[in-house]
Amino acid sequence: MKLLLTSGGVTNASIHGALEGLLGKPVAEASALCIPTAQWGHPWCGPASVRRFVTDSTPATMCGLGWKSVGVLELTALPSIGQDRWEPWVRGADVLLVDGGDATYLAHWLRESGLAALLPSLAETVWVGVSAGSMVLTPRIGEEFVAWPSAPDDRTLGIVDFSGFPHLDHEAMPGNTLSAAQRWAAGLEGPCYAIDDQTAIMVVGGAAEVISEGRWQQVKG
């Protein structure tokens, strides 16, 4: 897969340009599936916030970028309908738009649904994550970001070799400071990045590149 791991979505021209570069065509010619599943695992989220994501009524611009088509893929439903039905939907999409919430809950349902096992075969598909939708691809998220009570630990999928601290200096999250990110990174292995909502990390062929019109710092490694 080709990855665009954001903190706040497609929030500026640089991130939008990186997205179209990964797609290899304009957004208007690409089909998307949006995945709201992570929201169900976080106490701040619920039916209203899921609706806002799907209808793109939030600052995390994802579904409203002007796609050729947008559909909803709810991971918790997939085990009950069978992979032979949902796999063609995934393979037919140019991009997966993966919302935030709780990354451990999302990791659980990516595995349970079977989508996690399918990801390595989706060489040309673009994954655009926002917050937990990005963090789920890292090895660990740190205990600070685990909100799902049933999470066994802070481990996620480990598709990339670095961890990410999102929403740096966000006005609604006063605890998300650079010093907090440095303390968070001290408990993790491997490279760690703190990124704000104007920043994304693009990963192609295992190589990571920071795309930013805001503030970010590699706080470890």
Separation between Cα atoms, residue 193 and residue 190, nearest integer Å? 10
What angle is formed at CA 195 by the lines to CA 192 and CA 196, rounded to 5 degrees? Answer: 165
Residue 175 phi/psi, 5° resolution? -80, -10
- Per-residue pLDDT reduced to its tens digit, 77-102: 999 999 999 999 999 999 999 999 99
Among candidates 105, 106, 145, which has minimal Cα distance to 129? 106
For the chain, report the end-to-end CA distance as a whole number of angstroms.
24
Separation between Cα atoms, residue 105 and residue 85, nearest integer Å? 23
Mean pLDDT of the chain: 96
Among candidates 3, 2, 4, 9, which has minimal Cα distance to 167? 9
Question: Is 68:30 a contact under the CB 8 Å cutoff?
Answer: yes
CATH fit for domain 2-220, picks 3.40.50.2300, 3.10.100.10, 2.40.50.140, 3.40.50.880: 3.40.50.880
pLDDT tier at 59 (50, 70, 90 boundaries)?
Answer: low
Tell whether the model's pLDDT for residue 134 goes beyond 70.
yes
pTM confidence score: 0.96
pLDDT tier at 75 (50, 70, 90 boundaries)?
Answer: very high
Question: Is 15:211 a contact under the CB 8 Å cutoff?
Answer: yes
Question: Is 55:63 a contact under the CB 8 Å cutoff?
Answer: yes
- Per-residue pLDDT reduced to its tens digit, 156-174: 999 999 999 999 999 999 9
Place of tokens 């994501």: 53
